[in-house]
């Protein structure tokens, strides 16, 4: 289609501008849920210490109509999450600073600043910070729900982790640890 014909075909769409924005917003909200726009500044969010994984939760299910949760991991060298499987959510890991060794479905690689990894549900994966500097990583999980598990784990009594209790909590959210 030529550009001129394409532009003419769009002219009918200008009628959409006559629809009051409030009516459109209400209709769109019914279709997509009751999510509202949200801006979270770099130094803001809900801070959780999940067994040494310092997480700042930026968006949760209550913000996104249960579609996605996103947090920033700020983690010391040597800290990581052992091999496990999610049955409910997929995860995306985006390294902002440092080096993360990640294993997904038996394949291990080092993620550097700017690298991204995708770990689909039902596939075993693990990660840990390697090198000598702290790492910062943005993690997204979808659909949401896992943030509730992290809150439960973070609320456990301080001291050495009770891995039996942690495994039990994770199991309630469809996450199992593998060997």
Would you say residue 164 lies in a domain?
yes
Q: How confident is the model at residue 127 (pLDDT cuts 50, 70, 90)?
A: very high
Helix (H, G, I), strand (E, B) or coil at 147: helix
- Please, are residues 96 and 137 in contact by the beta-carbon 8 Å criterion? yes
pLDDT (average), residues 148-168: 94
Looking at the structure, tell me whether residues 113 and 152 fall in a common domain. Answer: yes
Q: Tell me, what DSSP letter sits at residue 29? A: H
Would you say residue 10 lies in a domain?
yes
111-120: pLDDT as tens digits: 999 999 999 9
Looking at the structure, tell me whether residues 87 and 169 fall in a common domain. Answer: yes
Looking at the structure, tell me whether residues 18 and 97 fall in a common domain. Answer: no
Would you say residue 41 lies in a domain?
no
Looking at the structure, tell me whether residues 114 and 150 fall in a common domain. Answer: yes
Helices 146-154 & 163-172, crossing angle to 10 degrees? 160
Consecutive H or E run containing 4: helix 3-10
Looking at the structure, tell me whether residues 87 and 164 fall in a common domain. Answer: yes
Q: How confident is the model at residue 101 (pLDDT cuts 50, 70, 90)?
A: very high
**What is the domain count for the chain?**
2
Looking at the structure, tell me whether residues 172 and 143 fall in a common domain. Answer: yes
Q: Which domain holds residue 63?
A: 46-177
24-34: pLDDT as tens digits: 555 545 555 66
How many CB atoms within 10 Å of residue 156?
Answer: 14
CATH of the domain at 68: 2.60.120.10
Its pTM stands at: 0.80
Looking at the structure, tell me whether residues 9 and 94 fall in a common domain. Answer: no
Burial of 2 (0-12, 13-18, 19+ CB in 10 A): exposed
């Amino acid at each position: 289609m030529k550009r001129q014909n394409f532009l003419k075909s769009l002219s009918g769409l200008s009628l959409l501008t006559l629809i009051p924005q409030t009516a459109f917003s209400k209709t769109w909200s019914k279709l997509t849920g009751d999510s509202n726009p949200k801006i979270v500044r770099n130094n803001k969010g809900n801070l959780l210490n999940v067994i040494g994984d310092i997480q700042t939760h930026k968006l949760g299910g209550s913000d996104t109509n249960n579609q996605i949760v996103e947090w920033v991991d700020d983690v010391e060298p040597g800290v990581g999450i052992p091999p496990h499987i999610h049955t409910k959510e997929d995860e995306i890991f985006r390294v902002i600073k440092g080096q993360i060794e990640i294993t997904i479905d038996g394949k291990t690689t080092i993620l550097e600043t700017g690298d991204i990894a995708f770990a689909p549900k039902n596939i075993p994966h693990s990660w840990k910070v390697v090198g000598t500097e702290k790492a910062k990583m943005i993690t997204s999980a979808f659909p949401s729900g896992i943030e509730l598990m992290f809150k439960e784990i973070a609320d456990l009594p301080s001291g050495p982790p009770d891995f039996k209790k942690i495994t039990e909590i994770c199991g309630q959210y469809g996450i199992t640890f593998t060997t």
